[in-house]
Amino acid sequence: MSGQSLLVPGQLSPLRTVPAAIPRPEYVGKDAPTPYTGPEVQDAETIERMRVAGRIAAQALEETARHIAPGTTTDELDRVAHEFLCDHGAYPSTLGYRKYPKSLCTSVNEVICHGIPDSTVLRDGDIVNLDITAYIGGVHGDNNATYLCGDVDEESRLLVERTRESLARAIKAVKPGRQINIIGRVIESYAKRFGYGVVRDFTGHGINTSFHSGLIVPHYDSPHHTTEIRPGMTFTIEPMLTLGTHEYDMWDDGWTVVTKDRKRTAQFEHTLVVTETGADILTLP
């Protein structure tokens, strides 16, 4: 594994502004979102709006990833994503969600998820996850991916490649009539082949007009999550695999989640809609 030193919190830049003409999610300026009480199955018109939001989120992810290089700060990646989303009429869903201060999450090396962009400088050999969600047309599109920064060691490269593959396998397992825990069963059985940990306490989620609807999509084999998968359901799958333990610590910022053993971790995510025969990816550029 890479011999990189462990991350420490950097300095935050001032809050970025969003043009007044761009509609905000209802939770902006509040401590927490209003609990979602609507259906998990969405109508065709809502799904089409989600397809637009998902496409913009995927394009923002691609554009931001082009700026990953040794010497770039994670705050600079936040600026790129923020400006791309605003330029396309979308609000960055994370900005102001439960008071989160930035427009995407940047999770580097041992950070499992929810890393806050700051003055941290990317180094040759890092791996970095970008997690971007777009809000437009009253709905959200959420996606993330892990990228290599410069010359990355083989163990980390394989972790990233296999985490991407675990998402692909999970998406193929989505079929109407199956229980939602089939997703975690497929991911965990694949991860176990390589001795990887599978993060349990952070999951995929229902998504629609609500950023997080309340539906939980576990990435491990859980006998307790037996919701039936139905056509029209919209949710994310976002496996987080680790080189060591699935257990974690949280930084004092209340957001940044790191592996307890500080070994590296990777994640990939798509927003999906269930069709009559499987799943359609909504976060495609």
Spatial CA neighbour of 162 closest among 137, 125, 189, 202: 189
Spatial CA neighbour of 187 closest among 195, 178, 198: 198
Taking 50 as the threshold, does the pLDDT of residue 100 lie above it? yes
Q: Which residues of 7-26 are buried (b: 16+ CB within 10 A; e: fewer)?
A: beeeeebeebebeeeeeebe
112 contact partners, CB below 8 Å, separation of at least 6: 199, 202, 240, 242, 248, 257, 258, 259, 265, 267
> Residues 163-219: pLDDT tens digits?
999 999 999 999 999 999 999 999 999 999 999 999 999 999 999 999 999 999 999
Work out the end-to-end distance of the chain between its first and last CA atoms, rounded to an integer number of angstroms.
32
Q: Give the chain's largest Cα–Cα span.
A: 50
> Please, which residues bridge with residue 266 across strands?
241
Taking 60 as the threshold, does the pLDDT of residue 285 lie above it? yes
By CB atoms closer than 10 A (0-12, 13-18, 19+), residue 244 is middle
Interhelix angle for 44-65 vs 74-87, to 10°? 140
pTM above 0.95, yes or no: yes
Taking 90 as the threshold, does the pLDDT of residue 1 lie above it? no
Mean pLDDT of 115-140: 98
The values of phi and psi at residue 74, to 5°, are -65, -25
- Can you give the pLDDT at residue 4? 78
